[in-house]
Chain A
Amino acid sequence: MTWDITGMAAVANIGASPEEIFAALCAGQESRKPLKAFDPDKYRAAYAYEIDDRPEGGGDIPLRATRWLTTVVRQAVADTGLDEDLSQIPVLVGTTMREQRSLELWWRDDAEVVLEDLHFGTALKAAFGASTTYTFANACSASLYALGVATDMIDLGLADTVVVAGTDAATEGGFGTLDRVQNDLPDALRPFDVTHKGMLIGEGAAAVVVQRAGTGSGPVHARVRGVSMGCDAHHATAPDPDGITRAVLDAHRRAGVRASDIDLVMLHGSGTPLNDTTESSVLRQIFQGAGAGPRMTAIKAMTGHTLGGSGLLSLVMAVLAMKEGTVPPVLGLTDPIPEAAGLGLVQGSPVSGDLAIAQVDAFGFGGINAVAIVEAAR
């Protein structure tokens, strides 16, 4: 069974649409900016990948993650050609931080936030009349988890059309704790490069409309072949090679593909030495003997780690890569870590190729892993 992706939307630091973000990834210009969201004097980390939409003159405002969410849902639904009335269409939201930034601003600065606004369902009801809405706080695999359970809903006959989204704004507690635990602070997110030091926060949102195969009225962007969801049950924050291996192999099994069928891997690539060595070691094992192996790229080098929505943003970029036959490079990757030797990491400039099937990785705190397989619509 496959599921049609008929609508897509995204917003990030480097663009306000999937096409803009993809073009920026291919152009490969440095995108990190000096930290604006929080008082830079309080942190060792000096850079972030923020969406620059705060008011002039400094200071943060609440409900930015909610605003991006309603924006990408509206655009994805329009892309599908559906009406904005979502009273009969489920909306599934994957997020790490939810509206915790608004909670912080309310707690510290008495920002005007009412309790119901801390739940995304409130805005989805107001904007689209949606009632069958769910927020999954599933860390950095949240939006691919949401995609997985969306395909289940269609399978089970609970819906024919589901909107899947992810959104996250930077929180001070998250940014600060990362600053505290990373010994050698990165000044850029450099996945898989020997100079990688860790991750830096990004902000963004993405949405797709998923429909039962053949039931949409518009064009199909790509097809979901299968989504795996699992848990390492190993460590609260560190990745586990066994759990990640199981997630990748389960995704291949669900999609009915072999490793040699994969043309493109959108890596989780968070830029922490532990993630990068674990992910590349696992993929070396999996793609060993699978011919030339797939092209691989990691968009967090330019978007930062956009947390809950990052998996879906990678997936949307995979769809555009397959449409364009182009894989953007990993910004700043000049000297890959030894564990990544032999992997088809794209360096320097975009490469072109015939891309039919892509694998999208997303791994989160709590050891929760989700891997999606998508196929070009031809």
Chain B
Amino acid sequence: MNATSTARSGSGPNGREVVVTGIGLALPGVGTYGDLLGPLPGEGGFDPATGLVGRELRHKDRASRLALRAAEFALHDAGLTDADAMFTGAADSTAVLVSTNWGNADSVCEAVDTIATAGVTGLSPLGLPQTSSNVIAGWVAIRYRLRGPNLTVSNGVTSGLDAVAWARNLITAGRAEAAVVVGVEPGNHVVTKILGEQSTDAAVAVVLEPADAAASRGARPSATIAGYARSRNLAEALASTGATEGGPVGLWLTDGTESAGAGAGRLLAAMRRIDLESQLGPLSGALGVLQCATAAAHLASGAAGNVLATVGGPRHDATAALLLTPPPPALRPSMQERGQHP
């Protein structure tokens, strides 16, 4: 995962390929993940006013509720839940990863406001879980009894891509047999003030599994996680990811940071680009996971070329890059058979 990363080929470290087998969105303006290929925002999509209610969402912070919905849709899409929406996979060895930067920022700031105006007795004891940023991953694990490693990545703009890469690491290291990766940010006045622009609700989840395990249970992978790096600049990230030496890249998911060095500029000049944040607003910790979902949509559509996702640049502490390639041929789905969820 560093600049000298060995993770250059389709197979992950240790040779086990990791594939995307499910996608779930709780994202206003995006109906199905096929719509991520644009233009956005479209008609319909997730409505927080009606989608964030229900008994199991009571007494939870907004980010946790959004994440629970996205995870529910992704596990359903992966075929890992039964008619009662209970998890049917190997719960003891399924990991949960959450990427979020501002998930509990509203809880933090509202708590200090309450202490200032009403004192400690004004606080609700129900607010205890969300004093810690890992509250979201805890609730997702509890909902589906997922007892594998539970990791919250709060790593700035690259968090989503980082979380996908760490999920692959946990699987290839033998720590987990599957992983639910959620990228989530809530839209609220605290996040809007932090970002200096209007924040939006955004949650997306992807399910990752080893290719062989996915094949043996008849799952339909849409993409392979083929390479990743977090480096000092885009050129170095691309080289470490393997994007410069693999097959042709057909789609570049960018965050609008056009900071390519000369070599990367030539590589990327001609290809199709999608900047999700320019269409949907700031996505922060949700961005990288949403890029992963968008890449899967591109690859599932049968469009040509691999997909490269990049986030970060000179205004940030690093640039991360994730390379996604088609799943092993025998496992590739057709568009007709893909679910249209949610």
Contact = CB atoms under 8 A, between A and B. Distances in A.
Contact of B138 (A124, A153, A236): A236
A132 B137 contact: no
Shortest Cβ-Cβ A-B pairs, 7 listed: A366-B138, A173-B111, A137-B133, A156-B13, A121-B317, A231-B150, A119-B156
Interface in A134-163: 134-139, 145, 148-149, 152-153, 155-159
Interface string B99-119: 001000101110111011001
Interface in B1-33: 1-7, 13-14
B151 interface: yes
A87 B2 CA distance: 9
Contacts of A176: 111-112, 115, 120, 123
B41 interface: no
A134 B6 contact: no
A171 interface: yes
26 contacts: A90-B1, A104-B112, A108-B112, A116-B316, A118-B194, A119-B155, A129-B232, A131-B318, A132-B230, A134-B162, A137-B152, A138-B152, A139-B134, A149-B166, A153-B1, A156-B172, A158-B6, A158-B7, A159-B2, A171-B131, A177-B131, A230-B150, A246-B147, A366-B134, A366-B137, A367-B141
A124 B9 CA distance: 29
B125 interface: yes
Interface string A230-244: 111111110000010
Interface stretch (A92-100, A189-197, A285-293): A92-100
B318 A156 contact: no
Contacts of B244: none
B175 interface: yes
Nearest to A368: B150
Interface of B: 1-7, 13-14, 91, 96, 101, 105, 107-109, 111-113, 115-116, 119-121, 123-125, 127-129, 131-135, 137-139, 141-142, 144-156, 162, 166, 169-170, 172-173, 175, 190, 193-196, 230-232, 315-319
Interface centre among A90, A97, A138, A172 (most CB of B within 10 A): A138
B121 A231 contact: no
Contacts of B144: 233
A152 B125 contact: no
A35 to B, nearest CB: 12
A240 to B, nearest CB: 10
Given A133-B318, A177-B111, A145 B151 contact: yes
A90 B2 contact: yes
A365 B127 CA distance: 13
A232 B155 CA distance: 24
A115 B195 contact: yes
Contacts of A145: 149, 151
A98 B154 contact: yes
A103 interface: yes
Contact of B5 (A100, A158, A367): A158
B20 to A, nearest CB: 20
A181 B129 contact: no
A51 interface: no
A122 interface: yes
A256 interface: no
A16 interface: no
B147 A121 contact: no
